[in-house]
């Protein structure tokens, strides 16, 4: 369940900066936003930029995006 502000952040027609306290759902929003862009535009994966402050956060973001993409592939109709 996302908050109203988190839903607003999924609108990929504009650039944004996501800032919040730890545990507020930043990574969840960024993963969903990444997938919204990838699935609902003509943008290729190598054209999407997400910048984090730490390597740990970057690795977590990368892992969660990969897991979600793999899940979508597995559940796609053949």
Q: Is residue 64 within 8 Å of residue 34, measured between CB atoms?
A: no
Tokens representing residue 4 in the block: 């109203």
Tally of domains in the chain: 1
Report d(CA 5, CA 17) in Å as an integer.
12
Tens-digit pLDDT profile for residues 54-76: 899 999 999 999 999 999 999 99
Question: Which residue range is the domain that position 45 belongs to?
Answer: 4-75
Q: If you average pLDDT over residues 26-44, what whole number do you get?
A: 92
Best CA proximity match to 5, nearest among 26, 34, 23: 26
What Rg value do the Cα atoms of the chain yield, rounded?
A: 13
Percent of the chain at pLDDT exceeding 90 = 50
Confidence of residue 17 (pLDDT cuts 50, 70, 90): confident
């Amino acid at each position: 369940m996302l908050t109203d502000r988190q839903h607003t952040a999924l609108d990929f027609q504009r650039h944004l900066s996501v800032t919040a306290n730890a545990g507020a759902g930043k990574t969840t929003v960024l993963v969903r936003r990444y997938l919204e862009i990838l699935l609902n535009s003509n943008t290729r994966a190598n054209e999407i930029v997400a910048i984090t402050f730490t390597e740990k956060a970057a690795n977590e973001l990368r892992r969660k995006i990969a897991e979600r993409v793999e899940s979508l592939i597995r559940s796609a109709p053949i």
